[in-house]
Amino acid sequence: MMWQADIETMPRAQLEQLQLKRLQDTVARLRANSALYGERLKEVGEVKHLQDIEKIPFTVKDDFRNHYPTGLLAVDKREVVRYQGSSGTTGKPTIAGYTKKDLEIWADLVARVACAAGVTPEDTAQVCFGYGLFTGGFGLHYGLERLGAAVLPMSSGNTERQLMMMEDFGITVLIATPSYAQYLGEMAREAGVAGKLKLRVGLFGGEGCTAAMRQRIEQNLGIVATDNYGMCELTGPGISGECLERNGLHFAEDCFYVEVIDPDTGAVLPRGEQGELVVTTLMRDAQPVLRYRTRDITRLHYEQCACGRTHVRMEKVKGRSDDMLIIKGVNVFPSQIEGVLMGFDHIGAHYQLVLKTVGFIDTMEINVELLDGALLESFGELENLQRSLEARLHAVLGLSAKVKLVGPRTLERFTGKAKRVLDLRSTT
């Protein structure tokens, strides 16, 4: 099923022509209406080919901070009908403004990823993303309405009430971060309602999760879930999402131009190489963004997908370059650790990484929840499991980590994006 089949299956040559036209329009509008880009584009000549984009300087998060809250608008403020922001809870948020047309396009983009995940107008969806500045709640809400599904706007938190409504309404679609979906599944089983739920589809996003973790959540809740990516600086959710092939997230290339760069040198990498995702908006009126450095590490696949969509597929995000841990000089993404942990049967879905400095040396301890507390009674089995985990982690990461196995339900649960890393290392 496709929401805008003509666009989603557009032959690549035609798609690239459309991108060039839209890029040229965006650049022209920014030259005329944006103080920041007007200045930056002075040195950039004409954009005649898509590759000419490489002459344009990058936009970075600090540009949003320095022009907070509305300095990046390229339209008169009277044309703005909504503001959204980044999900962080401290400091000044990153702000995105939208015109009416921007909101229309955004709703269609979200309807596209929901449709690709198998959502239909017959469905009733429970949105467990926060409604507020965060783009997740309102973004999914209007996209699902656009598609014709019924929406229950529960927002995040109050898990018992979420489960009650899920059962009462016969909710079929769950919209949540994977960590909250995991928690909901756990609570549903505990409350004895898991068997009564009618869920069939999940749309996960706002944070990554490994394929192994997803499989566990799917089993708990009886759903098939797709991964959906987005960020406030570039609109919000709906910029890329998986189809049911689940073989990468299709990027909405009619509305965005994507590149992958070497995060250290800024050089554009050849197609298919892993690096930092850089995105240019092609259809935003209120706040167009040129070459935004997302900090997210991924890889792009240009071969056509079995679903028939032609838009480029982005691999699941491996991590953010600023979340990458450097431990004793070794680069580690938390997702690599999750991948190892989920390969063990007795291990639950909750873990926490604790980094400390002991006598000038970095150490990593991983608190890992067991699925079954009974294992804690058997010292021998516990020790065996701990040793196997440590050996596997060492083999995969090239680094020793101490594993501490803890009882079920002892680690913190999250209703939004999970915070699994506790970095207590001294910075001196």
Q: What residue ranges bind ligand DLL (CB under 6 A)?
A: 86-87, 129, 134-136, 205-208, 227-232, 236-237, 294, 296, 317, 320
- Which is nearer to ligand DLL, 74 or 203 (by Cβ)? 203
| CA–CA gap between residue 26 and residue 280 (Å, rounded) | 10
CB 369 to ligand DLL: min, Å? 22
Q: Which is nearer to ligand DLL, 27 or 292 (CB)?
A: 292
Least Cβ distance, residue 230 to ligand DLL (angstroms) = 4
Query: Closer CB to ligand DLL, residue 208 or residue 288?
Result: 208
Q: Rank residues 47 and 223 by Cβ distance to ligand DLL and give the closer one.
A: 223
Question: Which of 344, 340, 339, 347 has the alpha carbon at shortest distance from 318?
Answer: 339
Which residue, judged by CB position, is nearest to ligand DLL in the bound state? Answer: 205
Q: Which is nearer to ligand DLL, 47 or 151 (CB)?
A: 151
Order of strands across the sheet that contains 313-314? 150-152, 124-127, 173-176, 201-205, 224-231, 236-242, 249-251, 313-314, 300-301
Which residues, at least 6 apart from 186, have a Cβ–Cβ distance to it below 8 Å? Answer: 220, 349, 409, 413
Residue 137 or 370 having the CB closest to ligand DLL: 137
Residue 220 CB, shortest distance to ligand DLL, in Å, is: 19
Minimum gap (Å) between residue 241 Cβ and ligand DLL: 8
Alpha-carbon 98 to chain mean position: 21
Other CB atoms within 10 Å distance of the CB of residue 324: 15
In the complex with ligand DLL, the residue whose CB is nearer, 23 or 418, is 418
Tokens standing for residue 230: 């987005």
Residue written as tokens 């991108």? 19
Which residue number, 138 or 403, has a Cβ lying nearer to ligand DLL? 138
Write down the least CB distance from residue 305 to ligand DLL, Å: 17
Give whichever of 132 and 407 is closer to ligand DLL, judged by the CB atom: 132
Residue count (the chain): 428
Given the complex with ligand DLL, which of 290 and 405 has the nearer CB atom? 290
